[in-house]
Chains A and B, each alone.
Chain A
Amino acid sequence: MKIMKHISVLSLICGIGLFLASCNWEQDVAPVPTFDGVANMTIAELLEYHTIGSTNSFDSIPAGTIISGIVVSSDEHGNCYKYINIEDGTAGIQIKIDNSTLYHKYPLGQRVYVKCDGLVLGDYYKLPQLGMWENGSMQGIPSSKTSKYIFCDGLPINMEEDFTPIVLTSIPTADNMPTTYYNRLVKLENATFVEGGAATYCLPNASTSHDIRMADGSTITMRTSNYADFINEMLPVGTGTVYGILTRYNNYVQIVIRSLDDVQGFVAPQETQTIFSVNYATAFENGWIHGAGWTVLSNSSFTGFYYNGSSADGSWLISPAINLSAVSSPELTFTHRAPQGFNAQKMMCYYTDHYTGDVNTTLWIPLSLNATEGTNTFVNEHFNLPDGALTEDFRIAFKTMGDNAQWAVNNITITGLAK
Chain B
Amino acid sequence: MKKLLLCVLVFLCVLPCLNAQDNTTKKAKNKKASADTTQVVNSQGDENTSVDLSEGQSDDSEGGDNNYIPGLLHSSQDVYLNNTSYTFSIAYFRSRGLDNKYQDVCLNGFAMNSMITDRASYSQWGGLNHIFRYPENIANLNLAAFTFGNVGGASNYNLRASNFRRQLRATYSLSNRTYNNRVIVTGATGVMKNGWSVAGSLSARFGHNISYVEGTTYNSFAGFLAVEKKLNEANHLNLSAFASYTSRGMQANAVQEVYDLLDNHYYNANWGWYQGKQRNARVRTTCEPVILLTHTYAPKSNKIHIQSTIATSFGRNNTTALNWYDVPDPRPDYYRYLPSYQISNGDTSSYYGNIFNYWASNDESYTQVNWDKMYEVNQLAALQGKRAQYMVENRIYDHFLLGGSSNFNATLTEHVKLYGGVDFRGVKQKNYKTINDMLGGAYWLDVDKFSEGDFPDDQNVQYNDLLHMNDTLYQGDIFGYNYDYHIYTQKAWAVAAFTYNHVDFHIGGEIGGTEFWRFGHMQNGRFQNESYGKSEVKGFLEGAGKAGITYKINGRNYLVLNGTAVSQAPSVLNAFVSPRIRNKYAENLKNEKIFAGDFSYIITYPGIKMRLTAYCAQIMDATRLISFYHDDYASMVNYSISGIDQRHLGAELGMEIKLGSMFSLILAGNYGDYRYSDRAEVTMNADNGTDFEGDVQRTVYWKNFHVSGTPQVATTAGLKFNYNYWWVNINCNYFDKICCDLNPERRTSTARGSLDENSELYHQVVDQERLKGQFTMDLSVSKSWRIKSGCTIGFNASVTNLLNNKNLVTTAWEQYRFDYSSYNVNKFANKYYYAFGTTFYLGLNLTFN
Whether A associates with B in a native complex is: yes
Q: How far is the CA of A155 from the CA of B762 in the complex (A)?
A: 13
**CB-based contact A99/B821 at 8 Å:** yes
Identify which of B15, B704, B754 contacts A152 (C-beta below 8 A). B754
A110 in contact with B633 given A17-B671, A21-B4, A104-B822 (CB within 8 Å): no
Answer whether residue A413 sits at the interface, using C-beta atoms and an 8 A cutoff.
no
Contact assessment for B679 and A28 in the assembled complex, using a CB-CB cutoff below 8 Å: yes
B751 touches A30 (CB 8 A): yes
**Nearest chain-B residue to A102 (Cβ)?**
B821
In the complex, what residues of B have CB within 8 A of residue A25's CB? 673, 675, 704
Are the C-beta atoms of B601 and A21 separated by less than 8 Å?
Answer: no
Contact yes or no, B4 A18, CB < 8 A = yes
Q: Are B704 and A33 closer than 8 Å at their CB atoms?
A: no
Q: Tell me whether B675 and A17 are in contact (CB under 8 A).
A: no
Chain B residue at minimum C-beta to C-beta distance from A25 = B704
Residue among A21, A33, A110, A156 making CB contact with B749, cutoff 8 Å: A33
Complex Cα spacing A156 to B753, Å: 10
Query: Count of A residues near B, CB < 8 Å?
Result: 43
The answer to whether B753 and A29 touch across the interface, beta carbons within 8 angstroms, is no
Docked pose: A22 CA to B673 CA in angstroms: 11
Contact of A101 among B693, B699, B822 (CB under 8 A): B822
| 8 Å CB interface, A60-111 against B | 99-102, 104-107, 110
Q: Which of A1-47 contact B (CB under 8 A)?
A: 2-3, 5-6, 9-10, 13-14, 16-18, 20-23, 25-33
Contacting pair A32 B749 (CB below 8 A): yes
Say yes or no: is A144 at the interface (Cβ < 8 Å to chain B). yes
A112 → chain B, closest Cβ, in Å? 10
* Bound complex: CA A142 to CA B453 (Å): 13
Residues of B within 8 A of A156 (CB): 754
A9 in contact with B559 given A14-B4, A20-B673, A105-B753 (CB within 8 Å) = yes
Q: Are A107 and B754 in contact (CB under 8 A)?
A: yes
Distance, CA A351 to CA B553, complexed state (A) = 111
For chain B, residues 210 to 252, give those with C-beta under 8 angstroms from any C-beta of chain A.
none
CB <8 Å contact, B633 and A13: no
Chain B nearest Cβ from A114, distance in angstroms: 16
The interface residues of chain B lying within 8 Å CB-to-CB of A102 are 821
B678 to chain A, nearest CB (A): 9
CB distance from A29 to the nearest CB of B (A): 6
Whether the pair A10, B11 counts as a contact (CB closer than 8 A) is: yes
User: CA of A61 to CA of B699 in the docked complex: distance in angstroms?
Assistant: 33
Within 8 A of B (CB), among A117-157: 142-144, 146-148, 152, 154-156
Judging by beta carbons under 8 Å apart, are B4 and A105 in contact?
no
C-alpha spacing A330/B595, complex, angstroms: 87
Known contacts A6-B15, A28-B747: A144-B679 contact under CB 8 Å: no
State whether A104 touches B755 (Cβ < 8 A). yes
B750 touches A5 (CB 8 A): no
Contact digits for B730-770, partner A, Cβ 8 Å, 1 yes 0 no: 00000000000000000111111111110001000011000
* Docked CA distance A143–B751 (Å): 14
Taking CB atoms, residues of chain A closer than 8 Å to B635 are 144
Give which listed residue, A13, A32, A100, contacts B599 with CB less than 8 A: A13
Asked whether B671 lies within 8 Å of A21 as measured between CB atoms, the reply is yes
Q: Write out the residue numbers on chain A whose beta carbons fall within 8 Å of the beta carbon of B544.
A: none
Residue of B whose beta carbon sits closest to that of A26: B704
- B8 CB within 8 Å of chain A: yes
Closest A residue by C-beta to B19 = A2
Q: B325 in the interface, Cβ–Cβ < 8 Å? A: no
Asked if B703 lies at the interface with its beta carbon under 8 angstroms from chain A, I say yes
Give CA–CA (A155, B675) in the complex, Å. 29
Contact yes or no, A21 B1, CB < 8 A: yes
| Closest chain B CB from A157 CB (angstroms) | 11
Give residues 541-562 of B contacting A (CB, 8 Å): 553, 557, 559
Residues of B contacting A17 with CB < 8 Å?
Answer: 4, 614, 650-651, 671
- In angstroms, Cα B15 to Cα A31, docked, is 52
- Please give, as numbers and ranges, the residues of chain A lying within 8 Å of B748 by CB-CB distance: 30
- List the B residue with the shortest CB-CB distance to A146: B632
How far is B637's CA from A144's CA once the two chains are assembled, in angstroms? 12
Q: Are B679 and A142 in contact (CB under 8 A)?
A: no
Question: Cβ of B297: which chain A residues have Cβ within 8 Å of it?
Answer: none
Cβ-defined contact, A28 with B701, below 8 A: yes
CB-based contact B693/A110 at 8 Å: no
Q: Write the nearest CB–CB distance from B561 to chain A, whole angstroms.
A: 11
Q: A155's contact among B650, B651, B754, by CB below 8 Å, is which?
A: B754
Closest to B677 in A: A25
Q: Which residue of A is nearest B704, CB measured?
A: A25
Q: CB-CB contacts of A171-195 with B at 8 A, as 1s and 0s?
A: 0000000000000000000000000
Interface positions, chain B 242-293, Cβ under 8 Å from A, are: none
Q: Quote the shortest CB–CB distance from B633 to chain A (angstroms).
A: 5
Q: Is the CB of B634 within 8 A of A143?
A: yes
The yes or no answer to B808 lying at the interface (CB within 8 A) is no
Residues on A with beta carbons closer than 8 Å to the beta carbon of B633:
144, 147
- Residues facing A in B685-708 (CB within 8 A) are 693, 699, 701-705
B820 interfacial by beta-carbon distance below 8 Å: yes
Find the A residue at minimum CB distance from B3.
A21
Please determine whether B820 and A105 come into contact, CB atoms closer than 8 angstroms: yes
Q: How far is the CA of A325 from the CA of B8 in the complex (A)?
A: 77
Is B848 close to A, CB under 8 A? Answer: no
| Residues on A with beta carbons closer than 8 Å to the beta carbon of B767 | 27
Interface residue B139 (Cβ < 8 Å from any Cβ of A): no
Distance of A142 Cα from B4 Cα, bound (Å): 55
Question: How far is A26 from B704 in the complex, measured between Cα atoms in Å?
Answer: 6
Q: What residues of A have a CB within 8 angstroms of the CB of B756 in the complex?
A: 155
A43 to B172 CA separation, bound complex (whole angstroms):
81
Cα–Cα distance between A93 and B761 once the two chains are bound (Å)? 29
How far does the Cβ of A91 sit from chain B's closest Cβ, in whole Å? 23
Query: Contact between A152 and B753 (Cβ–Cβ < 8 Å)?
Result: yes
Contacts of A6 in B (CB 8 A): 15, 557
Residues of B within 8 A of A27 (CB): 704-705, 766-767
CB <8 Å contact, B8 and A3: no
Q: Which residues of chain B are near A110, meaning CB under 8 Å?
A: 754
For residue B649, CB closer than 8 A to chain A, the reply is: yes
Does chain A have a CB within 8 A of B98?
no
List B1-23 residues whose CB lies under 8 Å from chain A: 1, 4, 8, 11-12, 15-16, 19
A154 to B753, CA, bound (A): 9
B23 to chain A, nearest CB (A): 11
**Chain B positions within 8 Å of A20 at CB level:** 649-651, 671, 673
- A107–B759 alpha-carbon span in the complex (Å): 13
A25 CA to B612 CA, complexed, in Å:
25
Q: Are B757 and A29 in contact (CB under 8 A)?
A: yes
Interface presence of B725 (CB below 8 A): no
B826 to chain A, nearest CB (A): 14
**Least CB distance, B162 to chain A, in whole angstroms:** 43
Residues of A within 8 A of B785 (CB): none
Q: What separation, in Å, do the CA atoms of A104 and B559 have in the docked complex?
A: 57
Contact of A143 among B601, B632, B823 (CB under 8 A): B632
Residues from chain A with a CB closer than 8 A to the CB of B651 are: 13, 16-17, 20
Q: CA–CA, A2 to B633, complex, Å?
A: 67
In the complex, A152→B752 CA distance in Å?
A: 11
- Is there contact, CB below 8 Å, between A3 and B612? no
B contact residues around A3 at 8 Å (CB): 15-16, 19
Task: Tell me the complex Cα distance, A179–B333, Å.
Answer: 52
Among B810-839, those with CB < 8 Å from A are 820-823
State the 6 A-B residue pairs at the shortest beta-carbon distance, nearest first: A144-B634, A30-B701, A101-B822, A28-B703, A104-B823, A25-B704
16 A-B pairs besides A100-B821, A102-B821 with CB distance below 8 A are: A5-B557, A6-B15, A13-B601, A17-B671, A20-B673, A27-B704, A27-B767, A28-B703, A29-B757, A30-B748, A30-B766, A32-B752, A32-B753, A105-B823, A144-B635, A152-B754
Interface residues of A (CB under 8 A from B): 2-3, 5-6, 9-10, 13-14, 16-18, 20-23, 25-33, 99-102, 104-107, 110, 142-144, 146-148, 152, 154-156
A-B contact pairs, 18 of them (CB 8 A): A3-B15, A5-B557, A6-B557, A10-B8, A16-B614, A23-B673, A25-B675, A27-B767, A28-B703, A30-B748, A30-B766, A31-B752, A32-B752, A33-B749, A100-B821, A104-B821, A105-B821, A156-B754
